[in-house]
Amino acid sequence: MIRPSAGPSNRAVEIGTALAFTAAGGAALWDSLRLGIGWGTDGPQSGTFPFWIGLALVAASTGTLVQAARTRGELGIFASWPQLRLVASVLVPNILYVAAIPFAGIYVASAVMVAWFMRRLGGFGWARSVLAGIATAVATFVIFEIWFLVALPKGPLETALGY
């Protein structure tokens, strides 16, 4: 059984994040050196400013990394597993939503996501959830495509309807 207070430790996440920052800084340093960090014909070369920024980033993240790694005692947990499961219950559908937009268009995807959230997280009945999803899509369509004349990503359904 998982204890309710179990979860990834803060120390591990701290170290991981600091490493990611270091990597970002390192990538910046590498790219800046490629561009040149000296004095060009028209002033400082393109890499100069990012180079110093990258250097500061690497230095600061190394400091944080050392601090996190040296902390021995209990730093507590980042979040408990049940909490992370709740976060995933929002995040995973949202990732699928974003992935579906290029194919299905934003309206259909939004309708499905609203209906899913209401059914799974809110415990509403299917009929009400689906109706609310469709209502959201129609309202968004009227506001953006018709009032503000902003074209949002559309899919096969909108094409079939003549938009």
Partner 1 sequence: MEELGLLMQGFAVALEPQNMLLMLVGVVLGVLIGVLPGLGGANGIAILLPLTFAMPPVSAIIMLSCIYWGALFGGAITSILFNIPGEPWSVATTFDGYPMAQQGRAAEALTAAFTSSFVGAFVAIVMITFVAPVIAGFALRFGPPEFFAVMFLSFASFVGMSRGPALKTLMAMMLGFLLAAVGMDTVTGQLRMTFGSTEMIRGFDFLVAVIGLFGISEILCSIEDGLRFKGQRAKIDLKVVLRVWKTLPRHWFLAARSALIGCWMGITPAGATPASFMSYGVARRMAKDPSSFGKGRIEGVIAPETAAHAAGTSALLPMLTLGVPGSPTAAVLLGGLIMWGLQPGPMLFVEQKEFVWGLIASMYLGNIAGLIVVLVAVPWFAAILRVPFSIIAALILVVCAIGAFTVSNAEFDITLMLVFGVVGYVLKKLDYPLAPLVLALVLGDRTEEAFRQSLLISQGSLGVFFSNWLVSTIMALGIALLLWPALSWARGLLAGGVLRRPRPA
CA distance 107 to 98: 12
* Residue 156 within binding range of partner 1, rule CB under 8 A: no
* Residue 64 within binding range of partner 1, rule CB under 8 A: yes
- Site track 12-31 with partner 1 (rule: CB under 8 A), x = hit: -xx--xx--x--xx-xx--x
* Residue 108 within binding range of partner 1, rule CB under 8 A: no
* Residue 42 within binding range of partner 1, rule CB under 8 A: yes
Q: What is the number of other CB atoms lying within 10 angstroms of the CB of residue 136?
A: 16
Q: For residues 73-102, which are near partner 1 according to CB under 8 A?
A: 73, 75-76, 78-79, 83, 86-87, 89-91, 94-95, 97-98, 101-102
CA distance 126 to 131: 8
* Residue 130 within binding range of partner 1, rule CB under 8 A: no
For the chain, the straight-line distance linking the first and the last C-alpha, in angstroms and rounded, comes to 53
CA distance 15 to 11: 6
